[in-house]
Amino acid sequence: MKYIVEIEGQTHEVEIGPDGILLDGDPVEADLQPNHDSDLWHLLLDGRSFTLAARRADARGEWEIEIDGRKRRVLALDERRRAIREVAGAAAQSRGPVEVKAPMPGLVVRVEVAADAMVEQGQGVVVMEAMKMENELKATAAGRVSAVRVDAGQTVDKGETLLVIEPVE
C-alpha cells in the first residue's frame, strides 16, 4: 500500500509492501508498536528508537504527532484518497462549468441527482465502487446540474466526466 505523507510542507511517499518499507523510494527499517492504553507509540526507525504520541486530528487523514516534545500536523493519505482530493481540488478552482470526474476507474453504483437539479457544494452526487470500496463523490461547487453523463451500473475510466454543474449567480 502506498501513502502520501505531508509534514511541515514536505511531501513524502511511503510504500509498505511484503518486501519491506520504502520512504521516497529508499528502503528503511521501521517498526511501530502501540503502548497499550495510551496515545503513545514506540517507533524503531533505522536502528533509532522514538516514543511518539499520535492523535487523529480529523477523519480525513490529518494527525497530530508529538515526538521529543515537538508537535507536528501530518496528513497521511492512501493513493485512492489522494486522487479524490486532487480531482476535487482542481474542480473547486474552476470558475466556469464544473465537471465531476471519476478519480479512478470503477463502477457507478448510484447517480444521486438528475439533470436540472440544484446542488449545494459538498452535496453527494455520484456513488462509485472502486477497489471494493464505495466512494461518494461530492459537488465541489453549488449550481445546476446541466448534464448527467453516466448511469448506475456503468463502468468508467479515471478522469471520465460523470456530470457537469453550471454555477448559478
Residue 45 and residue 29 in contact, taking contact as beta carbons nearer than 8 Å: yes
Sequence-distant (≥ 6) Cβ neighbours of residue 153 within 8 angstroms: 107, 108
Distances (CA, A) of 105 to 24, 84, 133, 139: 26, 12, 12, 19
Please compute, for residue 80, the number of CA atoms within 13 A of its CA located in the half-sphere on the CB side. 14
Residue 135 has what pLDDT?
A: 86
Poorest-confidence range of 6-10, 40-44, 87-91? 87-91
Q: Map out the domains of the chain with their CATH numbers.
A: 2-78 (3.30.700.30), 96-166 (2.40.50.100)
pLDDT tens by residue, 134-165: 888 988 888 999 999 999 999 999 889 999 99
